[in-house]
Amino acid sequence: MDFQISDRMSAMKGSAIREIFKYAADPTVISLAGGNPAPELFPNEELAGLAKEFLEQQPVLSLQYGVTEGYTPLRESVKARLKEKENIDWPDDDVIVVSGGQQAIELSTKCLVNAGDVVVVEEPSFIGATNAFRSYGAKLVGVPMDEDGMNIDALRRVLSSTPNVKIIYTIPTFQNPMGTTMSLEKRKALYAAAREFNVVIIEDNPYGDLTFDGTKLPTIKSMDEDGRVIYCGSFSKILSPGLRVGYMCANKEIVRRAVIAKQVSDVHTPMITQLLAHGFLTKFDIDALIVKMRANYAHKCSTMLDAIRTYFPEGVFYTKPKGGLFIWCDLGHGVDTLALSKAAVEKKVVYVPGNTFMVDMDKPTSTLRLNYSTMSDERIVEGIRRLGEVFGNVL
Amino acid sequence: MDFQISDRMSAMKGSAIREIFKYAADPTVISLAGGNPAPELFPNEELAGLAKEFLEQQPVLSLQYGVTEGYTPLRESVKARLKEKENIDWPDDDVIVVSGGQQAIELSTKCLVNAGDVVVVEEPSFIGATNAFRSYGAKLVGVPMDEDGMNIDALRRVLSSTPNVKIIYTIPTFQNPMGTTMSLEKRKALYAAAREFNVVIIEDNPYGDLTFDGTKLPTIKSMDEDGRVIYCGSFSKILSPGLRVGYMCANKEIVRRAVIAKQVSDVHTPMITQLLAHGFLTKFDIDALIVKMRANYAHKCSTMLDAIRTYFPEGVFYTKPKGGLFIWCDLGHGVDTLALSKAAVEKKVVYVPGNTFMVDMDKPTSTLRLNYSTMSDERIVEGIRRLGEVFGNVL
């Protein structure tokens, strides 16, 4: 049978990162391509104990159908944590548990975006989000990034000249793929612009806890006076990505719609993964774990930055993250990093070419994303050394 | 902020079942409204052992990101089981693990249906599926049901007179909500009609294993010679619904698209829930568990049917299921079962009014769905007795 694929999906390609991951699965390859948390920090013993306890002692709760909104005590712990840690506490908001932060973005898009509507994104931005927008026929418009976040003048030009903008999507803290942090001033200016042009903001904050020095800027959601910010949070980077537990905090009307959309998508997030997240939040010290992660990633990031200074050719631009998982590089000189990735693969090292994160993914770019959270120190240094050779050959 | 909800979601209502579940949560209420498996059959001790073992001994596998297609050994065990138990084994097909059978329906719809396209459904049909179709702007056309499944003459009339039919959605075995089984002859005729009019079939089979006498009719998928049948399977009814693990077996091109759609929806089904399903399939005897479930449900169904014969007024139509979870009733005489459900709630018993399962959910109907899998024998009998009183007052 020849299948007629829907308009919304017929233009969709698989993520290029997935193709690169095929090389990365080879254990002799040094992968700087992933976005995986460091596996040595997973609290697997604690989760094993919790899983056994819940399944043995609360079998019906653990294994029967649950409600679409999520396990109520987990929603309450998330609300309490958002209030305590992020100063997010608005009376007209509610929280829904989702199957990873990705689902918060997908459900928001399904509920708000008609085909042809515009979603404004940082350029570069997270491929999982841009593809979620594309999968509902959204038109993407990119706003260039400065080292302190989205260029607000450019954002305002887009908003004032583009009809049907529904959403501004932003990762203000330790942006994926750039690793940058939006300044407080820009956070305020972005919120003011969204308000002026009556646009919803999706604030995606999976990395916010991974601040190297422990300091945090206020989330945009904490400034949200009229309910226009949809805040996406996740346990993927501070507990385990394989659990697929995240949450969305938004105006009650948005949450109500998202519940209806989630009901037809996966009915509810699995009970056992919700119980593991809730159990860990309430019975263990997740903040102590986060402190360990911060130290681990700060060390690995600094290891990678030192190696970049040592091995990369002069003139390569790179960001200096204050947290998160990624460094962004620009080789300049018209280098095509997608083509160049083949030479890197030959030296058994992989990165993600920058075009992956762009609105026009077919246009060559001299940029690329590096990840430092997964590999050992030795492999980080060796990977950067090899990349230095590859880049030296074309610069 | 006043939100502009997308066209596809602005007409969506929450499931009426959810509202009824609010009453059902009261432990003094006898709920014949659910679709929950009997909780006493959950193999929670075995799953507790498996969860502990996986999390302790394979922490990275259990907690790191996985691939969107699903855990490869689980996909292989599902393929082997489909071949052995259902004679489904086509070289151009593939299997993707999904977050419950619901997600197979949602991803198929996203990949195949444009707004305004027609999905043909059995009338009545499963609200989770009909709402998934609605959520992508599909136009639903219902085909009336006989006691041996969809009326094929009516189906052919619909297919020959309706433009842009993309999908026929069917639950041939122990249909939800009717509890009926489509005859072998009709399965063949449905497949032939789909082929003649070049329409995809979604065959939803969450209940097939729950056959009271152990016999099974061939699935439509087992007759599929040209890859037009998307088969949705689930561990919800034979292991645990709260795990949210299902699978879709379809032509490779459909699976490839579903993988792209799933990537932006929830990235992948949680690793621990996939590992629990895989561990149970490979280390325990799921067929022995299924045999126990069959006996349990056969007994409960017969208990409910006996009570119906004793307590319901003469002339009430009801189905006599050969498996599954549901009995369907028609009170006739222009009774509105939605309005009548208030009188039932006053007597502390709940059912699902038939309008929930119809294409036009606003039109009153004299039908209703009863579930026998969740309550004890005593509560089943008492619930039917009370309903008999309620119905007797209006008939």
Q: Tens of pLDDT along A185-205?
A: 999 999 999 999 999 999 999
Looking at residue B89, what is its pLDDT? 97
Report chain B residues whose CB lies below 8 A from the CB of A125: none
Q: What is the CATH number of domain A45-283?
A: 3.40.640.10
DSSP B284: S
Using a CB-CB cut-off of 8 Å, the residues of chain B touching A229 are: none
What is the residue-averaged pLDDT of chain A?
96
Query: What is the rounded distance in angstroms from the CA atom of residue A368 to the CA atom of residue A394?
Result: 15
Residues of chain B with CATH 3.40.640.10: 44-283
Looking at residue B42, its pLDDT comes to: 95
Task: Beginning with the edge strand found earlier in the chain, give each strand of the sheet holding A93-98 in spatial order.
Answer: A93-98, A246-251, A229-234, A200-204, A165-170, A118-123, A139-146, A149-150
Instruction: Quote the pLDDT of residue B26.
Output: 85
pTM given for the model: 0.97
Contact A374, A38 (CB under 8 A): yes
Closest-CA residue to A206 (of A187, A180, A233): A233
> Which of B56, B105, B253 is opposite residue A45, by nearest beta carbon?
B56
Nearest chain B residue to A60 by CA: give it. Answer: B39
Q: Is the pLDDT of residue B107 over 90?
A: yes
- Of the partner residues B21, B244, B264, the one whose CB lies closest to the CB of residue A266: B244
Which residues of chain A form CATH 3.40.640.10? 45-283
Interface residue A295 vs chain B (CB under 8 A): no
The pair of three-digit structure tokens given for residue A104, joined into one six-digit string: 């918060």
Taking contacts as CB-CB distances below 8 angstroms, the residues of chain A near B7 are 114
Distance CA A324, CA A181 (A): 10
Residue A88 CA to residue B243 CA, distance in Å, equals: 31
Whether B12 sits inside 8 A of A102 (CB atoms) is no
- ipTM field: 0.96
Distance from CA of A100 to the nearest CA of B (A): 6
Cross-chain Cβ contact A14/B64 below 8 Å = no
Q: Which residue of A has its CA nearest to B47?
A: A55
| For range B205-225, the mean pLDDT | 97
The verdict on A13 touching B (C-beta cutoff 8 Å) is yes
Best of B13, B62, B63 to substitute, by most chain A Cβ atoms within 10 angstroms, is B63
Q: Where in chain A is the domain with CATH 3.90.1150.10?
A: 7-42+288-392
The per-residue pLDDT for range A348-362, each reduced to its tens digit, is 999 999 999 999 999
Query: What's the pLDDT at A145?
Result: 98
A36 touches chain B (CB under 8 A): yes
Cα–Cα nearest to B238, from B211, B199, B217? B211
What is the secondary structure of A229-261 as a DSSP string? EEEEEESTTTT-STT--EEEEEEHHHHHHHHHH
Chain A contact present for B16, CB below 8 A: no
Looking at per-residue confidence, does B17 or B106 come out higher?
B106
**In angstroms, what separates the C-alpha of B29 from chain A's closest C-alpha?**
18
CATH 3.20.20.70 fits B44-283, yes or no: no
How distant is the Cα of B130 from the closest Cα of chain A, in angstroms? 9
Those of residues 214-253 in A touching chain B at CB distance below 8 A are 226-228, 240-245, 251, 253
Could you confirm whether domain A7-42+288-392 is CATH 3.90.1150.10?
A: yes
How far apart (Å, rounded) are the C-alpha atoms in residues A132 and A102? 8
> Quick one: DSSP state of residue A41?
G
Q: Which residues of chain A register pLDDT less than 70? A: 14-19
CA distance B56 to chain A (A): 6
Split at pLDDT 50, 70, 90, the class of B20 is confident
What confidence score (pLDDT) does residue A330 get? 98
pLDDT tens sequence across A315-356 = 999 999 999 999 999 999 999 999 999 999 999 999 999 999
pLDDT of residue B302: 98
Chain B residues in contact with A279 (beta carbon < 8 A): none
pLDDT in tens, B167-209: 999 999 999 999 999 999 999 999 999 999 999 999 999 999 9
Note which residues in 75-104 of chain A have CB less than 8 A from chain B: 99-100, 102-103
Test the A interface: residue of B5, B46, B55, B251 with most A CBs within 10 Å: B55
Q: What is the pLDDT of residue A26?
A: 85
Q: Cα A376 to the chain's mean position, in Å?
A: 22
Residue pointed to by tokens 């394989």: A242
Q: Which of residues 120-179 of B touch A (CB under 8 A)?
A: 128, 131-132, 135-136, 166
Search chain B and give the residue with CA nearest A63. Answer: B242
Compare all CA atoms of chain B with the CA of A59 and give the residue at the minimum distance: B44
Residue of B nearest to A12 (CA): B260
Reduced to 3 states (helix: H, G, I; strand: E, B; else coil), residue B283 is helix
* Preceding omega of A206 cis (within 30 degrees of 0): no
Chain A residues with CB under 8 Å of B14 CB are: 256, 259-260, 263
Q: What is the pLDDT of residue B17?
A: 64
Indicate the DSSP class of residue B138.
P
Closest CA to B21 of A65, A118, A287: A65
Kindly state the helix (H) or strand (E) to which residue A168 belongs, with its residue range: strand A165-170
User: Residue A170: which residues within 8 A CB-CB, separation 6 or more?
Assistant: A122, A149, A150, A182, A190, A201, A202, A203, A204, A220
Task: Find, among A185, A230, A133, A160, the residue nearest to B264 by Cα.
Answer: A133
Judging contacts by C-beta atoms under 8 Å, the chain A residues touching residue B67 are 21
Name the residue of chain A whose CA is nearest to B10's CA. A111
Per the document, the length of chain B is 395
Type of residue found at A289:
L
Cα A16 → chain centroid: 16
What's the confidence (pLDDT) of residue A34? 87
CATH number of B7-42+288-394: 3.90.1150.10
State the smallest CA–CA distance between residue A302 and chain B in angstroms. Answer: 24
Residue A219 DSSP one-character state: P
- Contact at CB, B106 and A265, closer than 8 angstroms: yes
CA angle B268-B269-B273, nearest 5°? Answer: 150
Instruction: Find the CB nearest B243 among A6, A63, A106.
Output: A63
